[in-house]
Amino acid sequence: MALDIGKQQRRHGKEERRRGLGSSASAAAAAEPRSVQLLLLGVALVAGSFYAGTVFRSPSSPALILPPSGSRSPDSSRTQGAPKFTNRVSLSYQTKPISVPDYGIAVCPLEYNEYIPCHDASYISQLKNLDRSRHEELESICPPQEKRLFCLVPPPNDYKIPIRWPTSRDYVWRSNVNHSRLAEVKGGQNWVHEKGKLWWFPGGGTHFKHGASEYIERWNIAERGRTSFAA
């Protein structure tokens, strides 16, 4: 009799353990889809925020924070204790073989701040004597090696650190490229405009005065027959 009771108790214990394992497995199976759903929801929220940022941002007028007129350059504090450059200002030419002096490569005089390699300014006066049928006027005129400059082209006196991307896509410091001829000639065609201390490149050029997106939208309106299209 006692043996039968012990067998029944052991059998009952095994059944209870099986029930416990089954319930834990079902709970884990129920929790797994929930965690996957939460993960997918998080990924969707991140993707949606990036998409909203690209849709609702203003591409035509990126944020540009100009430093105060009397403020220092961001790197000025770091360069105060640094040794100054020892490069000399000298109009030097290439040698054979090319060698760099101990004091480093010299800096060209300031009047060479717009120097273009293989471009001779006197070349313009020779255009009429060139064979235009062979388009010799488009060739680069490089002087012999002994007449080629071997010095660093200096920046203008009021040169500023270039504006960082993506703002630099639309804005450039005027002091870095201080030539207004293109703005005067092409100002009405939205190539480049003077904007305070900056050159502003609004985009669109000759054919898209208000940008390509506005031009395409006018085409869509014309196709739908809402208004007449005037180029």
Same domain, 162 and 226: yes
Among residues 154, 173, 206, the one where a domain terminates is: 154
- Which phi and psi angles does 172 have, rounded to 5°? -140, 140
Structural domain includes residue 64: no
Same domain, 134 and 186: no
Task: Output the pLDDT for position 54.
Answer: 54
Structural domain includes residue 173: yes
Q: Cα(93)–Cα(85) distance, rounded to whole angstroms?
A: 20
Same domain, 173 and 210: yes
Closest Cα to residue 160, out of 83, 73, 78, 64? Answer: 73
Structural domain includes residue 209: yes
Q: Residue 131 has which token pair? A: 């064979």
**136 lies in which domain range?**
86-154
Task: Output the pLDDT for position 82.
Answer: 46
Strand partners, 149: 93
Task: Output the pLDDT for position 36.
Answer: 64
**pLDDT tens, residue by residue, 109-142:** 988 888 888 876 666 677 677 676 777 666 777 8
Cβ proximity of 163 and 64 under 8 Å: yes
Q: What element of type H or E holds 212? A: helix 212-223
Low-confidence ranges of the chain (pLDDT < 50): 1-3, 5, 21, 24-25, 27-29, 55-56, 58-63, 65, 67-79, 81-83, 229-231
Structural domain includes residue 67: no
Same domain, 169 and 231: yes
| Positive or negative: CA dihedral 43, 49, 55, 60 | negative
**Model-level pTM?**
0.45
Question: What is the number of domains present in the chain?
Answer: 2
**pLDDT tens, residue by residue, 193-221:** 888 999 988 776 666 666 667 778 888 88
Instruction: With H, G, I as helix, E, B as strand and everything else as coil, classify residue 93.
Output: strand
Structural domain includes residue 15: no
Among residues 105, 138, 154, the one where a domain terminates is: 154
Cβ proximity of 156 and 113 under 8 Å: yes
Structural domain includes residue 72: no
Among residues 105, 136, 154, the one where a domain terminates is: 154
Same domain, 178 and 188: yes
Structural domain includes residue 44: no
